[in-house]
Amino acid sequence: MTLTVREFDVARDSGVVARMFTWSDAFTWNEQDVVNNVARFPEDRPMLRLVVEDGGEVVAYGRVCEIAPNPRGAFQGEVIVLPEHHRRGIGRDLVARLEGFASEGGAKCVLFLVHERFPGSMEAAKRFGYAPRTLYYQSVIDPQVFEGDKFASNVASVVESGYEVKSLAELPQGEELDRAYYEAVHGSDVDTPFMDYFGWPEYDDYRRMVMNAAWFDRNGVVVALKDGEIVGVSTVNKGSGEFNGEMFIDYTGVVSEHRGNGLATAMKVRALEYAKAIGGTMVRTENNTENPAMRAVNTKLGFVEKPGMWMVVKEL
């Protein structure tokens, strides 16, 4: 069959790409998830999405973009080739096209996340000139068997130290709260390892990409407060399509001067209790190898580590 490369069409391709994401990610994606994922990216940032067809059937997907300006001048990409179409040069061709787009857009380097459970992907990345930088651990827990009472003393210690742990939904809503939340996430994330490859969107972009996203659940956004100021955040969400029990803690962070007080543990306990209450059956989270403190928190709470994702980088 003749291979054809064309730009991704959200109406035409979201369903098949959702199935590809599910196969690659070991986490269920539906068509609406892909539609919402596409819609959340800033329109003014360089972006290229491609699909490869074999006889009219989509067999591969590739994307590269600059989500936000970053010190490294990095563009971030992903490539998925269905396994029955491996070793046909599809991945190499897609990577070359994405690199070319990134280079024309002023990128200094390109990074991909390569799943650890696919050793062949890392081998291919190295052949294409990419070097591994760090591993993002993937950890999972069944919230239905999580016993939050075991951590009552941890939570009590946090409260006795003058902190409050609440959901974002429990606080007075409005622009002031949203900006305070944004500043807390940004402030706690600035020293996260390798953030210089990702950069940070401006408030309006972040609000549209995250806070206005279909999956953003203010009941599942847990914050730690000191004297009314948000100093820590942990967010658990259930996706944007029909809820199937799978959830994701996509961020946990504490402003530097408040670290070491047990806030991450207390917030994640609250997040897991919320996941349990709404019928969650699996919660996934990830953390960088350069962040052993968060890995220790996850282990203490009962998360079980699964194969993770390597960040690989190529200088252009």
> What integer pLDDT is reported at residue 40 of this predicted model?
79
**Helix ranges (DSSP H) in the chain:** 10-25, 31-40, 90-104, 119-127, 152-160, 175-189, 203-206, 263-277, 292-301
> What integer pLDDT is reported at residue 222 of this predicted model?
98
Read off the pLDDT of residues 135-175 as tens digits, 9 standing for 90 and up.
Answer: 998 999 999 999 999 999 999 999 999 999 999 999 999 99
Please say whether the beta carbons of 53 and 3 come within 8 A.
Answer: yes
3-state secondary structure of 281: coil
3-state secondary structure of 295: helix
CATH 3.40.630.30 boundaries in the chain: 3-137, 139-306
The stretches in the chain having pLDDT less than 50 are: none
Two tokens, residue 267: 């917030």
Is residue 278 exposed (0-12), middle (13-18) or buried (19+ Cβ within 10 Å)?
middle
> What integer pLDDT is reported at residue 43 of this predicted model?
76
3-state secondary structure of 294: helix
CB atoms within 10 A of CB 293: 11
What is the distance between the alpha carbons of residues 310 and 116, in angstroms, rounded to a whole number? 6
> What integer pLDDT is reported at residue 171 of this predicted model?
98
Is the pTM value of this prediction over 0.85?
yes
What is the distance between the alpha carbons of residues 222 and 184, in angstroms, rounded to a whole number? 12
> What integer pLDDT is reported at residue 77 of this predicted model?
95
Instruction: Give Dmax (Cα) for the chain.
Output: 68
> What integer pLDDT is reported at residue 248 of this predicted model?
94
Alpha-carbon dihedral angle through residues 93, 68, 193, 185, given to the nearest 10 degrees:
-140
Percentage of residues in the chain having pLDDT higher than 70:
99
CATH architecture, domain 139-306: 3-Layer(aba) Sandwich (3.40)
> What integer pLDDT is reported at residue 213 of this predicted model?
84
Read off the pLDDT of residues 79-131 as tens digits, 9 standing for 90 and up.
Answer: 999 999 999 999 999 999 999 999 999 999 999 999 998 989 999 999 999 99
Check the CA dihedral 276-306-128-79 and report its sign.
Answer: negative
Distance separating the N- and C-terminal Cα atoms of the chain: 33
> What integer pLDDT is reported at residue 1 of this predicted model?
59
Q: Indicate the CATH number for domain 3-137.
A: 3.40.630.30
